[in-house]
Amino acid sequence: MAGAVGIVAGGIAGQGAGLRSDLAEAAAEGHFLHRECGEEKSKYFDKKAMKTISLRTNPVAIVELRDGVLSAIMTGFNEPQKIVSVPRGNPVTFIFRNFDDAERRMVASLGTAMAAGGEASTEKEGHSDSNETCTQLIPRGAEQALTVTYAKPSIAQEDPLTLTVPGVSGQAIEVVVP
């Protein structure tokens, strides 16, 4: 009981500390309407969103940028992979880990063929017309989760679906949706 009170009290106090107030401000400014998926550094940055991933045991793949090489680590595959196969029409979670000195983000292309209503992603908030979604920019040693639903199979896409890191050219993880 005392513990529960403590947790609630902590939550209220934490809210007062204003950790996320800049996010509220960003939303008010319409910041999230133009999603930044390039190399640009956002004015608003959720610094608390790193190293807090509770999905550690069950992502579809962990995508690492290490020594300039982008690779996907998946349970069952002994070697890092360049192709990730994910079930169609089901939310899948990737974890992106940055071991590069520069701040990096991971971008998932969602393809030209999307589900009805132009929603290829589970993230419902309005975003740019480009068919992609991305993580925050994160510094070395940090990690971010990205949950995506691919409603259409790869054969329906003009170009392969990919996971890329802006600023790291010539490298991509291909996402195959059967």
- Distance between CA 75 and CA 143 in Å, rounded? 18
Choose between 18 and 76: whose C-beta lies nearer to other proteins.
76
Q: Does 18 bind other proteins (CB under 8 A)?
A: no
As a whole number of angstroms, the distance between CA 86 and CA 89 comes to: 9
Q: Which stretch binds other proteins (CB under 8 A): 35-43, 134-142, 147-155, 162-170?
A: 147-155
Rounded alpha-carbon distances, angstroms, from residue 48 to 44, 45, 59, 103 = 12, 9, 20, 15
Of 88, 103, 166, 172, the one binding other proteins by CB under 8 A: 88
Is 27 in a helix, a strand, or coil?
helix
Q: Per-residue string for binding with other proteins, 105-134, x by CB under 8 A?
A: --------x-xx------------------
Find, among 164, 72, 156, the residue nearest to 177 by Cα. Answer: 156
The nearest distance, CB 113 to other proteins, in angstroms, is 7
H/E stretch holding 11 reads helix 2-16
User: Binding mask 33-72 vs other proteins (x if CB under 8 A, - otherwise)?
Assistant: ----------------------x-xxxx------------
Interacting span for other proteins (CB under 8 A) from 9-17, 62-70, 124-132, 150-158: 150-158
